[in-house]
Structure 1
Amino acid sequence: MPLSFWGKTLMKFILSMAVVSFAMPLSAFAQDQGHNHGGSPYAGFEAREIKSLSDQDIAELRRGGGWGLALPAELNGLPGPAHLLELQEELALSSDQVAAITLIFEEMRAEAIAAGENFIAAEAAVSAAFEEADLTKEELAGLLARAAEARAALRLVHLSRHLATPALLSDEQVRKYSVLRGYSDDPCATVPEGHDPTMWRRHNGCDG
């Protein structure tokens, strides 16, 4: 039975949508891979000495910086020694607390610098390996394993120090640290409707 005008129109619409649906993922994939007309987001990276690390990355690692490796601890309420020292006045840290946290920080930084150099060297080896035409999968696997081990060792240096700080702080200091770092709202700023102001402030460790 011949299709009506509306039937033919509907069929064309369905076919056109099928073509669009098929094409869209391919287009999105091309853009994700940097093959669009705007050029690759990695343009310029080819000039790096170590392709996987920027100059800023290397500088951060060589000074013993956190490089974002301690986020699992930092964002779960375990303060980092570096930021504690930066906020020591706002947190009203005692001289004993400052001394203990400084020791943790200095030990962490010394170990992080050494571990960072190991990680940089491992990434440099991976980068250099791809300059050779005869790189094998087995050789690559060994290089990647060493790089992964070096990165894990570096993360351990930073994350393990976050385990040591809570015992040195009061609950109020830990709470205030979270507020100062922007991870939570200050419960002392406002008293929710329906709560007794005095009890609310006492329960949340507010001053006054």
Structure 2
Amino acid sequence: METINRKFFGVSVLFAALSGSCFADPTSSYAGQEARELKALLPEDVQSYLAGKGMGMAKAAELNGYPGPAHVLSLAEALVLTPEQKERTTALFKAMETRAIALGQTLIEKEKQLDMAFAEKSVDRSSLERMLQQIAATQAQLRLAHLDAHLQQVRILSLEQIARYNDLRGYGKPTSPTPHAGHAP
């Protein structure tokens, strides 16, 4: 019986300690963010979207042996890109960046509309669903722009250049056991 009482006492003390720590500070981790122009996004994320940055959207490609054009260009000398490869990669990067910037602007605008609807108390279930579908579609298009650039980049590089890229980026042996279609000679 004494053992049961000790266990009950121990559990009671633990529960009291945990309960107290959960309710000790009612301040939200969001405190201070209510003054931001766009509540749902960090200012640095807004800037990255507006600049067409990848923000990790293409990791599925990058970490599986599909180099990204921005990094290929920064490693052009080490990869020994031919003038044609450099020209094609530059064009690919510029097209991706232009598309990403336009989609980033659209995404920011859609997020502002969502924020405004809540600020004006004019949101309802139907309008919320519509706005979220538009945001999700824009996010998908933005990610597609980045991932597709990686998909196209492998058609410009040789298998040796891809292996060198992965080594230079510190990836070791990415999982890309089969050759990609359309490699440069």
- Same fold per superposition (TM over 0.5): yes
Distance 1:74 1:49, change over 3 A: same
- Stretches of structure 2 that go unaligned for 5 or more consecutive residues are 174-185
1:15 and 2:15 correspond:
no
CA deviations over 1:18-72 (Å, ceiling 9, x no partner): 44676688678x4xxxx76395433332221111112211211111111221111
CA deviations over 1:63-116 (Å, ceiling 9, x no partner): 111122111111111110011101111111111110111111011111111111
More RCO (CA 8 Å, sep 6+): 2
Distance 1:181 1:16, change over 3 A: farther
- Stretches of structure 1 that go unaligned for 5 or more consecutive residues are 1-6, 186-208
TM-score (norm 2): 0.82
Partner amino acid, structure 2, of 1:183: Y
Write the distance in 2 (CA, Å) between the matches of 1:179 and 1:124. Answer: 41
Distance 1:138 1:88, change over 3 A: same
Instruction: Classify the secondary structure of the residue corresponding to 1:130.
Output: helix
Distance 1:50 1:95, change over 3 A: same
Write the distance in 2 (CA, Å) between the matches of 1:181 and 1:36. Answer: 45
Cα RMSD after superposing both structures: 2.4
- Where do 1:164-183 residues align within 5 Å? 164-183=152-171
Partner amino acid, structure 2, of 1:148: A
1:109 aligned partner: 97
Of residues 34, 41, 47 in structure 2, which corresponds to 1:46? 34
Write the distance in 2 (CA, Å) between the matches of 1:160 and 1:118. Answer: 19
Which protein shows a greater Rg?
1
Write the distance in 1 (CA, Å) between the matches of 2:167 and 2:24. Answer: 42
Write the distance in 1 (CA, Å) between the matches of 2:58 and 2:24. Answer: 35
2:49 aligned partner: 61
Percent of residue pairs bearing the same amino acid type: 38
1:136 and 2:124 correspond:
yes
1:192 aligned partner: none
Of residues 79, 83, 88 in structure 2, which corresponds to 1:91? 79
Aligned length: 173
